[in-house]
Amino acid sequence: MAADEPGHQVHVINIDIQDNHEEATLGGFLICELATILTSCEDLDNDIDEALQEFEIKRVIICAVCVFDMSVSVANKVKHPLQFTVLAQCPTTKARVGKMVLPHSEVDTPVFMPVGTQGTMKGLLPQEIEATGSKLILGNTYHLGHRPGSSLIAAQGGLHRFMKWDHGLLTDSGGFQMVSLLKLAEITEEGVRFQSPYDGSASVLTPERSIEIQNEIGADIIMQLDDVVSSTCPDRDRVEEAMHRTVRWLDRCLEAHQRKADQSLFPIVQGGLHEGLRKQCVEELLKRDVSGYAIGGLSGGESKDQFWRMVQVSTDLLPKDKPRYLMGVGVAVDLVVCVALGCDMFDCVFPTRTARFGCALVDEGQLNLSKSKFQKDFRPIDDSCPCSTCSRHSRAFLHQIATHETSACHLLSVHNITFQMRLMRRMAEAIRTRSFPEFIQQFMLKVFPEKDYPTWISDSLRAVGVTLVN
C-alpha cells in the first residue's frame, strides 16, 4: 500500500524495542505476526481495523506469556552470596587486589586463611585470631563431621556461633583426607568409604553428605567433594579418572546444596600435573554457575617447577571476575610467587605447625628460636611487627620456652599468623601503588641475600614479567 495512494488511510504502528535481547526477540516476532495478518487482508480499507484489533489481542497475549517466562527465569537465578570486585591490577604480573563481600565479613584479597581444623587453632582463642587481622578462616568438614558432629554444631546455630567467630568461614569438603588418610579410605563413584581415625568405625562420605555437613556447619564458602589424587601419582589414567569424577561429583554437590542464598560453593580444578587435563577440567567447570574457583591437587610433593606451571595454567584459564583459591599453600615465597601468578586466596597449617617446633616467621625465612644463639638475644622477633608477642617478649624469653612450654606455641602462633596477614596487606599495597614487581625483587633479595634464587622462582616470575635482581 503506497502512502500517497488516494482513498487509503495510512496506519502507523509503533513497537518499542529496547536494548534488551529478550525484548528485541519479542519485537521481531510481533512484526512478523503483524505482517502475516495484514497480508491476509483482501480489502485493506475494510479489513485493516479488524486486522489491527486481531494483532493487538495477540500482542497482549504473547507479551504476557513472555513476561511471565522471563519472571520465572529471573526468580530461579539466586544471587550469589559472595560478591567479588577487582579493585586494582598489577600492570606487569597477574596479581590483583580485590574485595569479597560474604554474609559474615568483607574480606580483602589477596588473603591467607589460617586453618582451624575443628573450629579452633591450637593455642589461640577466636579474639586472638581476630587481633591478627584475620577475616576468613578454614574449618575441616571431615573432622568437624566426626567430632563434635555437624548436627550438634547446627543445634547451636552453626559454626560461627559454636566457636564465637563473627567473621568469614570456609570449610573444605573432606576430600583431602583421601590422600592424608588413604590407608583408611576406599574411593568409588558413590563416594569415599572411611575408617574413622577416632574410633575405627566405617563411614561413607558422598558428595551429598559432604554438602549436607557443610550446610549444617554454615560456613560462608563451602567446597565441592573432589576425587583427590596425590600430585606425585604416576598413573595418568587414574588422574584423568579423578578429574572426570570431580566434575561429576560437582554436579551432585550443586544439586544437593540447600543453602544457595547464604553459602557459596566452589568447584575444584583437578588434573594433576597434566596441563591438558587441567584445561579440560576448567572448561567443564566454567559451564556451571558458581561464584569462585579453587585450584587443587598441588602442594603434595611434586617439584616446584611442576607446581608453578600448573598454577599458571589454571589462572590463565579461570575467569578474571571471580576469586581463585589455591589450596594448601602457605610458605611466604610460595605466596609471593602465586599472588604474581594470579591467585587470590590461600590456606595452610604451616604458620601454626611451625610454631609448635619453635620457629618464628620473618621476611628472611624462619628463626628457629630453640637454637642456642638466641639465648641472649633481647630483641623482639621482628621490630616492625605489631603483634602482642613482638611487643612484649624477646627472642631470649621465647628461646627458654620454645618446644618445652605450650605457651611458646601460643605466642609463636600469634606472631606467625600476624606475619601472614601483614604479608598479604603489604602485597596488596604494592599492587595498588603499581610497585609490585619491585616488592617481589626486594622480598626475594631478603630471602636469598646471595642472589642464589631457586630456578623455579626465577622462571615463574619471569613468566609474568619480573626479573630478579642479580
DSSP 217-283: HT-SEEE-------TT---HHHHHHHHHHHHHHHHHHHHH---TTT-EEEPEE--TT-HHHHHHHHH
Task: Please tell me the predicted confidence (pLDDT) of residue 178.
Answer: 56
C-alpha cell of 73? 527465569
- Whether residues 261 and 138 share a domain: the answer is yes
Active site residues: 172, 347
**Adjacent-strand bridge partners of 449:** none
* CA atoms within 13 A of residue 270's CA, in its CB half-sphere: 28
Please state the domain count of the chain.
2
> Was 409 annotated as part of a binding site?
no
Residue 428 lies in a domain: yes
Per-residue model confidence as pLDDT tens digits over 375-386: 999 999 999 999
> Was 297 annotated as part of a binding site?
yes
- Whether residues 312 and 426 share a domain: the answer is no
- Whether residues 358 and 229 share a domain: the answer is no
Q: Choose the final residue of a domain: 298, 319, 347.
A: 347
E strand or H helix at 107: strand 106-109
Q: Please classify residue 351 by burial: count the beta carbons closer than 10 Å to its beta carbon, then call 0-12 exposed, 13-18 middle and 19+ buried.
A: buried
Q: State the residue range of the domain holding 127.
A: 84-347
- Torsion angle (degrees, nearest 10) of CA 303, 298, 345, 132: -70
Residue 54 lies in a domain: no
Task: Please tell me the predicted confidence (pLDDT) of residue 39.
Answer: 55
- Whether residues 116 and 175 share a domain: the answer is yes
**How many Cβ atoms from other residues are within 10 Å of residue 68's Cβ?**
10
Give pLDDT < 70 ranges for the chain: 1-78, 177-184
Task: Please tell me the predicted confidence (pLDDT) of residue 294.
Answer: 98
**The residue type at 200:** G
> Was 226 annotated as part of a binding site?
yes
> Was 66 annotated as part of a binding site?
no
Q: Can you give the CATH number for the domain in which 179 is found?
A: 3.20.20.105
- Whether residues 296 and 375 share a domain: the answer is no
Residue 445 lies in a domain: no
> Was 387 annotated as part of a binding site?
yes
Per-residue model confidence as pLDDT tens digits over 62-103: 554 444 444 444 444 558 999 999 999 999 999 999 999 999
Task: Please tell me the predicted confidence (pLDDT) of residue 194.
Answer: 75
- Whether residues 424 and 339 share a domain: the answer is no
- Whether residues 394 and 339 share a domain: the answer is no
Residue 47 lies in a domain: no
